Structure 1
Amino acid sequence: MTRILLTDDDEQIRTTLADYLRTFAFDVRTAATGAGFRDAVASGGVQAIVLDVMLPDANGLELCRWLRHQEDTTPVVMLTAQGDPVSRVIGLEMGADDYLAKPFEPRELVARLNAVLRRAPRPAPGPDVDVPRSVRFAGWTMDCLQRLLVSPTQVAVALSNAEFRLLAAFVAKPGRVLSREQLVEATARSTPGSGPSVNDRSIDLAVSRLRQKLNEAHDAPALIRTVRGEGYVLDAKVAS
């Protein structure tokens, strides 16, 4: 079942659309604010997003740009009362995959969601990364199908697309120093032009986020070490 995050501050629209989408076998999460949107994204598992432009505490366009800066390629359909061409162009430039002006037929939203999901790149570990169904390292278990980390204390930690590809690269070559260039290659998206490009800076940010997740649920020494002038290394033994 495809999990959708529906973010709209209008309770009636939010409830009506959520109920309608569920009749098409979507698993719908909802949020009414920008803060709720960020929390839902951080929890992981979202496969498509419906995002209203006007929220009480945030601008949907800025939230879309924030999402793309997280190296998150989840398809986004923007909803707005402003259907003029300039607003559409701005939304697409911010990283939205489609744009739907209010009022609209709910069935059209379903069609657009299905279209962006078909176009979305298939998540893949990347070149030269061969990871089994699940792997274990330093007490952690990485579920490669669900994209979940389970800590030594059995706390589930969701992974974003970028975090999954990055960790997949590390567990494929434990104990080996991987340069930023190698990590860029291993975590590049499978579909060219599908969002912000992966570069050295984004790799550093992704490593930082991944380290936070590895240390959030379990107080232990850093598993991903920086090797000055060379790159990063997963300092743990990996078993499938």
Structure 2
Amino acid sequence: MTILIVEDEESISKLVAVYLKNENYAVSVCQTGREALSIINQEKISLAILDVMLPDITGFELCRYIRENNHRYPIIMLTAKGEETDKITGLTLGADDYVTKPFKPLELVARVKAQLRRATAYSSTGEDRLLTFKGLEVDIARRKVQLNGRSINLTPKEFDILVLLLENRGNVVETEKLFQDVWQEKYFDTSSNTVMVHIRHLREKLGDTSEQRAYIQTVWGVGYKIEG
């Protein structure tokens, strides 16, 4: 597996690369967005770590480019301490997780492992299931989604949320359970905001224009569900 690190502070990128190499990951490191674009278009990437602030192209622009070009691997954003708007923006554009600077390298490595574990969970089972519901077709093994015959490009987290809700169709999935199952992390009060951002983005892609016609229903104070 190859991890792409896009970070303009050489001391940080070198340190992260050392820790990831110690875990037997291959690493591609670059310090500008333009270098990153070249790697994204030429190499097979398993996960990308993107710093928000770069000297040319921002991490947000790279994140958008990756998703718009149908690359589905996990993205972890590196943000400055206290920049809540950076976190929300990154998640909205398709990032799967974020780490706030300064951070401990072992924490980042743990998050990398969690994201890769989640991304490969379905493919490693060999399942060949197709979930269908009101024009939606979700191919579990290939991690592809179609809506009325049209392909929908979802991020890994959006895909996992949709699968979880479809598998529990007719039942409410509590926000805490949804977060723990999809992110595989401990739930905190702020975790509900992370879930909310992903749900909103997923709804936009599914064309949910109103609560009455939406695939995904909000059960206020509890969680979310897809009606059976």
Equivalents in 1 of 2:73, 2:117: separation in Å?
12
| 2:151 partner SS | helix
User: Equivalent residue for 1:18?
Assistant: 17
Structure 1 runs not aligned, ≥5 long:
129-164, 166-179, 200-240
Equivalents in 2 of 1:127, 1:183: separation in Å?
19
Equivalents in 2 of 1:52, 1:110: separation in Å?
15
Question: CA 1:82 to 1:63, structure 2 compared with 1: closer, same or farther past 3 Å?
Answer: farther
Q: 1:85 Cα deviation (Å)?
A: 2.6
| 2:27 partner SS | strand
Q: Residues 83 and 102 of structure 1 are in contact (CA less than 8 Å); yes or no, is this contact kept in structure 2?
A: no
User: Equivalent residue for 2:151?
Assistant: 184
Equivalents in 2 of 1:53, 1:192: separation in Å?
25
Q: 1:80 Cα deviation (Å)?
A: 1.7
User: Equivalent residue for 1:176?
Assistant: none
Q: Residues 81 and 102 of structure 2 are in contact (CA less than 8 Å); yes or no, is this contact kept in structure 1?
A: no
Q: 1:107 Cα deviation (Å)?
A: 0.1
User: Equivalent residue for 1:65?
Assistant: 64
Q: With a CA cutoff of 8 Å and minimum separation of 6, indicate the structure with the bigger relative contact order.
A: 1
- Cα deviations across residues 120-153 of structure 1 (Å, max 9, x unaligned)? 25459x889xxxxxxxxxxxxxxxxxxxxxxxxx
Equivalents in 1 of 2:48, 2:33: separation in Å?
13
Question: CA 1:105 to 1:55, structure 2 compared with 1: closer, same or farther past 3 Å?
Answer: same
Normalising by structure 2, we get a TM-score of 0.55
Normalising by structure 1, we get a TM-score of 0.53
Structure-to-structure mapping, 1:121-140, within 5 angstroms: 122=122
Equivalents in 1 of 2:82, 2:95: separation in Å?
14
The amino acid that maps onto 1:104 is F
Q: 1:39 Cα deviation (Å)?
A: 0.9
Aligned identity (percent) is 36
Question: CA 1:22 to 1:62, structure 2 compared with 1: closer, same or farther past 3 Å?
Answer: same
- Cα deviations across residues 52-73 of structure 1 (Å, max 9, x unaligned)? 0111111101210111111111
Q: Residues 83 and 100 of structure 1 are in contact (CA less than 8 Å); yes or no, is this contact kept in structure 2?
A: no
User: Equivalent residue for 1:49?
Assistant: 48
Question: Whose helix fraction is larger, Structure 1's or Structure 2's?
Answer: 2
CA RMSD of aligned residues (A): 3.5
User: Equivalent residue for 1:86?
Assistant: 85
> Given the alignment of the two structures, is residue 117 of structure 1 paired with residue 116 of structure 2, yes or no?
yes
User: Equivalent residue for 2:30?
Assistant: 31
Equivalents in 1 of 2:116, 2:91: separation in Å?
16
Q: Residues 51 and 59 of structure 2 are in contact (CA less than 8 Å); yes or no, is this contact kept in structure 1?
A: yes
Q: Residues 53 and 60 of structure 1 are in contact (CA less than 8 Å); yes or no, is this contact kept in structure 2?
A: yes
Higher Cα Rg, which structure? 1
